[in-house]
Amino acid sequence: MKIFRIFSSDAHDMAIDLGTVNTVVYVRDKGIVLNEPSVVAMETRDGIRRVKVVGNEAKLMMGKTPDNIQTIRPLRDGVIADIEVAEQMIKHFIDKALGGHTRLPRRYNVVICVPSSSTMVERRAIGDAASNAGAAQVQLIEEPLAAAIGAGMPVTKPIGAMVVDIGGGTTEVAVLSLSGIAYSNSVRIGGDKMDDAITSYIRRKHNLMIGEMTAERVKMSIGSAVPPDGTGTIISVKGRDLVNGRPAEIKISEADIAEALAEPVAQIVSAVMTALEQTPPELSADIIDEGITITGGGALLGQIDKAIAEATGLPVKIAENALICVAMGAGQAFQDPAYQGVLIAA
Ligand SMILES: Nc1ncnc2c1ncn2[C@@H]1O[C@H](COP(=O)(O)OP(=O)(O)OP(=O)(O)O)[C@@H](O)[C@H]1O
Ligand SMILES: [Mg+2]
């Protein structure tokens, strides 16, 4: 007797960019269907710990939770740091991307983006997490390749192209040619380190303790990789006064924040310089013509393109859709046969 397993019939192969800060999901023939913070709020009730909310709702709770709720970011530096919570998060996002629970089991394949610097052990952990979440087949793609495909760069041609993906946890610099990575270099510096730099600057200079979310908001509103002429825009920032313990508000300028960000920015620029020094000469010659493309949320930091252009003397372009181009590129990689070679078995 033959047994047929009945699966729901929607098309639903998907690509997941499981980022340190944001998770983005691309579903076949639909495009990007989900883009939410990689945050999980876990609640402990009657001694049992379970997921309360995930993504946008969990991020809103960060820094504001009572004792029995904990907000967790299960990825650090681009790789899984808390496997149990990461698995629950992936499962939640896959269900949501597929349109919620259904009674029929669904069969779907997943492509997961991994940092090019990740180890075999880290890759296996991510692959296993996706299998445990229910994926039938799991394949991997290296993030710089996905970023470059998503940014519309000529990755399949014998032309050297440089992509710099500045994420929340890591910055990956890669030189691509013929659908492969000819050189890559990664540093554990990204948006998170910029937020930390702002927090410690404000603590040091103003004796004011600010939260993680406030630091990120300051970076997004007035952050700049190059100091402005004069003080630039001035905004007010609220936090807790470290001297008297009371809530307090201070004024901070674009010039102050540029000073705070100088070190992480210098480390990103130096990763790019190192990559250029190590690139084989034929590919270097191509990069002069093609320039450098920057992707990831960090590409949106004010003047970061200018800082990299000044240091390298090369043209620098910010990718369109910088925040979603890794997931878009991974999606294109499984939909378009021209890119088949870039997927790796998990
Ligand atoms: N306008 C902006 N200016 C500066 N930084 C920004 C801006 N918008 C987003 N970011 C930062 O970009 C980072 C998130 O980028 P992205 O989503 O590419 O990271 P990720 O893929 O989750 O991380 P990783 O690739 O390191 O695992 C955050 O640190 C966020 O604060
Ligand atoms: Mg990323």
Question: How many angstroms is it from 19 CA to the middle of ligand 2?
Answer: 5
Question: How many angstroms is it from 18 CA to the middle of ligand 2?
Answer: 7
Residues with CB under 5 A from ligand 2 (ion): 19, 167
Which residues form ligand 1's pocket by a CB distance below 6 Å? 19-22, 78, 167-170, 190-192, 216, 219-220, 223, 296-298, 300-301, 323
Atom 18 of ligand 1, nearest CA residue = 296
Within 13 Å, how many C-alpha atoms sit on residue 187's CB side? 20
- Contact at 8 Å (CB) between 147 and 325? yes
Which residues, 6 or more positions from 87, have their beta carbon under 8 angstroms from its beta carbon?
129, 132, 133
Question: How many angstroms is it from 17 CA to the middle of ligand 2?
Answer: 7
Quick one: which atom of ligand 1 is closest to the CA of 75? 27
Q: Which CATH superfamily is domain 14-38+73-145+328-345 in?
A: ATPase, nucleotide binding domain (3.30.420.40)
Q: Options 3.60.21.10, 3.10.450.50, 3.30.420.40, 3.40.109.10; which CATH number does 160-189+262-323 get?
A: 3.30.420.40
Q: What is the pLDDT along the chain (346 residues), one digit of tens a residue?
A: 445 544 444 557 899 999 999 999 999 999 999 999 999 999 999 999 999 999 999 999 999 999 999 999 999 888 889 999 999 999 999 999 988 766 556 788 999 999 998 999 999 999 998 998 889 999 999 999 999 999 999 899 999 999 999 999 999 999 999 999 999 999 999 999 999 999 999 999 999 999 999 999 999 999 999 999 999 999 999 999 999 999 999 999 999 999 999 999 999 999 999 999 999 999 999 999 989 999 999 999 999 999 999 999 999 999 999 999 999 999 999 999 999 889 998 8
- Rounded to whole angstroms, the Cα distance separating 62 from 18 reads 19
Question: How many angstroms is it from 290 CA to the middle of ligand 2?
Answer: 22
What pairs with residue 26 in β-bridges? 15, 32
* φ, ψ dihedrals at 8, nearest 5°: -65, 145
Let me know if the fold of 160-189+262-323 is the same as that of 203-260.
Answer: no
Atom 8 of ligand 1, nearest CA residue = 297
- The answer regarding whether domain 203-260 maps to CATH 3.10.50.40 reads no
pTM, two decimals, is 0.94
